[in-house]
Amino acid sequence: MPHRPVLRSTLFAALLAAGGVCSAQADPALTVGNSLSYFQGKFGTNDTIHYYYDATDIQYGDNDWRVKLTVPYISATGLPAGATLTGGSVVGGTGSTQTRLASGLGDVWLAGHYKVFQGSGLTPSVTPYIKVKFGTASVSSGLGTGKNDYEVGVGLQQIIGSSWFPFANLGYRVVGNPAGYNLRNIGIYQLGASYALSQKNIVTLMYSGSQAMVAGGSAPSDVILAWNYNLTPQGSGFQVYLDKGLSNGSANFGVGIGGQIVF
């Protein structure tokens, strides 16, 4: 099957890094949140694609470990006929002159993180993670491939003084590959820093990228500016962010807003 270039969605990765810098939990806590993201661009095609991602997150954990379930609703307009969304990419539909609307339940994600080393001074904390993308999105509607993805990686977090929180995330994703798609496994990376203006206000600047999922495709590359506002010391609050794509494999721009409650 032919392939279209990559469609990229960062989906509050910066906010997840920023959200914990001033709201560490000594005891396990339940967090429920929702975020709505919008991305727009041609993504290297002849069509302007509008991509919406509405995610509900349920997380349980403390400062050392956490488990998170993400259930998304997705909608895309301007999607080439015959194309399929998968893992933030769009494949198939090459040569099509028609576009369509596709919407419905997306692929559900389950992630687990566990801190194996608490850093101090110039030594960062080390938090390995594992993620599973379940192929729950409709194959007939073009919202997914019906295949699972598996990702492993590690997060590094540092504290400089009382206000700076640099971080880096490195991962490797084994991509589910239906017959005829010829998708590739990819490396994923993020690098950035959060700055606490106060106990409530946190600003994050992050670079995010990955390898291209299809041979010859443009690798996603984005810069993200995010702001978290904590309403409670436990971390309940809201977030907004701006995304600027730096390659043909990314959206031209994206925006997002969300909130969470820590019980």
- CB-based contacts of 11, cutoff 8 Å, min separation 6: 35, 37, 53, 55, 88, 256
- 156, pLDDT greater than 60: yes
Would you tell me how many other CB atoms lie within 10 Å of the CB of residue 199? 10
Q: Which two tokens stand for residue 36?
A: 């709505």
- 48, pLDDT greater than 90: no
**pLDDT band with cut points at 50, 70 and 90 for residue 51:** confident
**Mean pLDDT, rounded, for 139-161:** 91
- Give the per-residue SS3 of 39-85: EEECCCCCCCEEEEEEEEEEEEECCCEEEEEEEEEEEEEEEECCCEE
pTM of the complete model:
0.88
3 state SS of 184: coil
- CB-based contacts of 88, cutoff 8 Å, min separation 6: 6, 7, 8, 9, 11, 220
**pLDDT band with cut points at 50, 70 and 90 for residue 91:** low
Q: What local confidence, expressed as pLDDT, does residue 19 receive? A: 46
CATH T-level topology, domain 13-262: Porin (2.40.160)
Q: What are the domain boundaries of the chain?
A: 13-262
Helix, strand, coil % in the chain, rounded to nearest 5: 5, 55, 40
Q: What local confidence, expressed as pLDDT, does residue 3 receive? A: 46
| Half-sphere exposure (Cβ direction) of 22: Cα atoms closer than 13 Å | 26
Contact by Cβ (8 Å): 98, 156: no
pLDDT tens for each residue of 11-45: 444 454 444 455 556 789 999 999 999 999 876 66
